[in-house]
Amino acid sequence: MTLLGLVQHLTEVERNWFQRVFAGQDLPPVFGESNLDGFVLLPDRALDEVMAVWQAEIARGRELIADASLDDSGRLSEQEAGHVGDQGVSLRWIMVHMIEEYARHNGHADVIRERIDGVTGA
């Protein structure tokens, strides 16, 4: 796990929840052939490129939800619905899930930072 890998993964997460699930767009993964490839680092992929793509995915998601109600819903695939329990998910549910995703991965980033500088606690 690396910081760049986390950003790549969050890029995939942004695309998946806002463009695929909420807006119903059929889009390929951003990095590689599957959503799990987001963690894979390629030597020719620069930090600036990854950060720009992540920011673009965030901006696209914001565009898609700008005029939406939190009660509007998107649709999960059958496979994804198996983890959630239902194929229909509201924008409210997606937004809460995104908070969970970012909180979880911010924790991962903090562990990586602690391993580098040794600082723990407040």
The predicted-structure confidence for 3-16, as pLDDT tens digits, reads as follows 888 999 999 999 99
Domain that residue 28 falls in: 3-117
**Which DSSP string corresponds to 34-46?**
SGGGGG---TT--
Residue 112 belongs to some domain of the structure: yes
Q: CA 111 to CA 81: how far, in whole Å?
A: 30
pLDDT of 77 over the 80 cut: no
Q: What is the DSSP letter of 109?
A: H
Number of domains in the chain: 1
pLDDT score at 17? 95
Residue 122 belongs to some domain of the structure: no
Give the mean model confidence (pLDDT) for residues 43-56: 92
Residue 49 belongs to some domain of the structure: yes
Instruction: Record the tokens describing residue 34, joined without a space.
Output: 């599957």
Residue 59 belongs to some domain of the structure: yes
Query: Using DSSP, how many helices (H) and how many strands (E) does the chain show?
Result: 4, 2
pLDDT of 80 over the 90 cut: no
pLDDT score at 37? 58
Residue 23 belongs to some domain of the structure: yes
Residue 113 belongs to some domain of the structure: yes
Local confidence band at 36 (pLDDT 50, 70, 90 cut-offs): low
pLDDT score at 119? 86
Residue 12 belongs to some domain of the structure: yes
Residue 33 belongs to some domain of the structure: yes
Q: Which residues, in sequence order, are CB contacts of 55 under 8 Å at separation 6+?
A: none
